[in-house]
Amino acid sequence: MQLQDLVVKEDVFDLMYEPLAGSNLTNLLRLWAQNRFYIAPRYLPRLLYALTLSTVLSPFRVAESVKFGPRIRETELSHHPVFIIGHWRSGTTYLHNVLSQDPQFGYCTTFHSVLPGAFMVGEHSLKSIVAASIPDKRPMDDVAMGPDLPQEEEYAMGAFTPWAYYNGWCFPRGMRFYNRCVTMENLPGAAAAEWQSSYHYLLKKLTLLWKGRQLVLKNPANTARLSLLLDMYPEAKFIHICRNPYHVFFSMMKFMVRVLPRYCVQRPPSTDTMAAMVLDVYHSLYRAYFEQKDAIPEGNLVEIRYEEFLQRPLAEMERIYSTLGLAGFPEQRATFQRYIDAQGSIRTSSYDLDEATKQRIHDRWQFAFDAFGYPQ
């Protein structure tokens, strides 16, 4: 498969994937204003759907604030979180799914990420609606989806605040601006503080929901936010997973070409522009990671490779638990093995990158090839 083969027929009435639909109404209006109220006419059904659903959900958010607000504010994270980091398409989802089999951990589910402002009061009345509105599998790789399966909380953050990476996938004209939300650099002065406040609120909600369990959270964008996270959770644990950069590039392009047209309310960029965005975000994300990772206390960071995790998942899981000082691996070994066996063999797409594209990747990401030790 080559880049030119990554073409998806667009259906502007496909509302199933629209992440704006679960957004706080105030935040949705902020995003719209931030983009100068421009919506491509063909995508008006998506905007109307998002506005309607956000409005309908407002009473649930109010009810949750009234019923649970004081308890959420009083909740403390008795365990600092475990953060799974690494660029998108590097195996973070598979690692998250395996680790979440351990019952000592809580996590953000798809239901939580879709309706982050109402999941505590909407468990019985709204979850079935969410379940009916999401596909059985992700469109880019056929990985199973479901309301109770682990999900990255960056989607939830996009519903709380404009300062979230995926907002750029909904508003592609501003994608370069929203890409800055990965590193949280060159944004308005209050952006980082708002992000931290919103993020901590979400984690307090999840902690309350999971009755104080330690949270294990997967969010690729957090790879570049170590300083912000350590400011809030100085003893947090980090699991970084990397993958061959060439494979990351192609898989990310497949991801964007298939998913972005399902999210956007403005015309998506060309494949060439998407490729430039992928190159830029990867470079910014890992520049920040390498600059900040030494601030993580000794024993709180473990780095693994996707390829090795696929080959010997239990051995790598044991190394993760041992390095981070997490208890319970021997007791959970059989649980992990059953889950891994149930997944069968992980299949990855074959691809054919022309020499010009490979050279472009190499030139932009050489520092990562060198740091991770992948052949160039």
pLDDT 10s digits, 257-315: 988 988 999 999 999 999 999 999 999 999 999 999 999 999 999 999 999 999 999 99
Quick check: 300 and 236 in contact, CB under 8 A? yes
Confidence band (pLDDT; 50, 70, 90) for 142? low
- Report which of 153, 121, 151 is spatially closest to residue 134, judged by C-alpha positions: 151
Top pLDDT among 4 and 301 is at 301
CA 332/CA 311 separation, integer angstroms: 19
Tokens of 179: 């890409």
Q: Is residue 148 part of a domain?
A: yes
Q: Is residue 10 part of a domain?
A: no
| pLDDT for res 206 | 98
Q: Give yes or no for residue 59 having a pLDDT over 90.
A: yes
Q: Is residue 5 part of a domain?
A: no
Q: Is residue 51 part of a domain?
A: yes
Confidence band (pLDDT; 50, 70, 90) for 359? very high
Q: Give yes or no for residue 10 having a pLDDT over 90.
A: no
CA 329/CA 335 separation, integer angstroms: 10
Q: Give yes or no for residue 216 having a pLDDT over 70.
A: yes
Quick check: 219 and 208 in contact, CB under 8 A? no
CA 185/CA 115 separation, integer angstroms: 27
CA 370/CA 356 separation, integer angstroms: 20
Q: Give yes or no for residue 138 having a pLDDT over 70.
A: no
Sheet strands side by side (includes 214-218): 105-106, 214-218, 82-85, 237-242, 301-305
Please tell me whether the overall predicted TM-score, pTM, comes out greater than 0.85 for this model: yes
| pLDDT for res 124 | 81
Q: Give yes or no for residue 12 having a pLDDT over 90.
A: no
Quick check: 166 and 155 in contact, CB under 8 A? yes
- Report which of 1, 200, 247, 224 is spatially closest to residue 81, judged by C-alpha positions: 200
Total count of domains within the chain: 1
- Average the pLDDT over 206-219 and give the result: 98
Q: What residues have CB less than 8 Å from 23, skipping those under 6 apart? A: 31, 50, 54, 158, 159
Q: Is residue 330 part of a domain?
A: yes
Q: Residue 80 carries which side chain, given as an amino acid letter? A: H
Ranges of H-type helices in 184-312: 191-209, 226-232, 245-263, 271-292, 306-311
How high is the mean pLDDT of the chain? Answer: 92
First to last CA, the chain: 20
Residue 137 bridge partners (DSSP): 144
| pLDDT for res 146 | 77
Tokens of 176: 């370069």
φ, ψ dihedrals at 137, nearest 5°: -135, 155
Percent above pLDDT 70 for the chain: 91
Q: Is residue 1 part of a domain?
A: no
Q: Give yes or no for residue 85 having a pLDDT over 80.
A: yes
Q: Residue 304 carries which side chain, given as an amino acid letter? A: I
| pLDDT for res 242 | 98
Q: Give yes or no for residue 364 having a pLDDT over 70.
A: yes
Q: Is residue 208 part of a domain?
A: yes
- Average the pLDDT over 126-150 and give the result: 73
| pLDDT for res 4 | 52
Quick check: 22 and 57 in contact, CB under 8 A? yes
CA 232/CA 80 separation, integer angstroms: 9
| pLDDT for res 351 | 76
Confidence band (pLDDT; 50, 70, 90) for 349? low
Q: Is residue 4 part of a domain?
A: no
Tokens of 39: 């919506």
CA 172/CA 161 separation, integer angstroms: 17
| pLDDT for res 137 | 66
- Report which of 219, 196, 200 is spatially closest to residue 208, judged by C-alpha positions: 200
Tokens of 367: 């520092």
Domain that holds residue 38: 15-372
Task: Tally Cβ neighbours within 10 Å of residue 2.
Answer: 11
Q: Give yes or no for residue 129 having a pLDDT over 90.
A: no
Top pLDDT among 52 and 5 is at 52
Top pLDDT among 350 and 105 is at 105
Task: Evaluate the CA torsion angle 98, 346, 111, 219 in order and state its sign.
Answer: positive
Confidence band (pLDDT; 50, 70, 90) for 15? low
Q: Give yes or no for residue 352 having a pLDDT over 80.
A: no
Residue 241 belongs to a domain with what CATH number? 3.40.50.300
Top pLDDT among 347 and 59 is at 59
Q: Residue 222 carries which side chain, given as an amino acid letter? A: N
Confidence band (pLDDT; 50, 70, 90) for 18? confident
CA 29/CA 23 separation, integer angstroms: 9
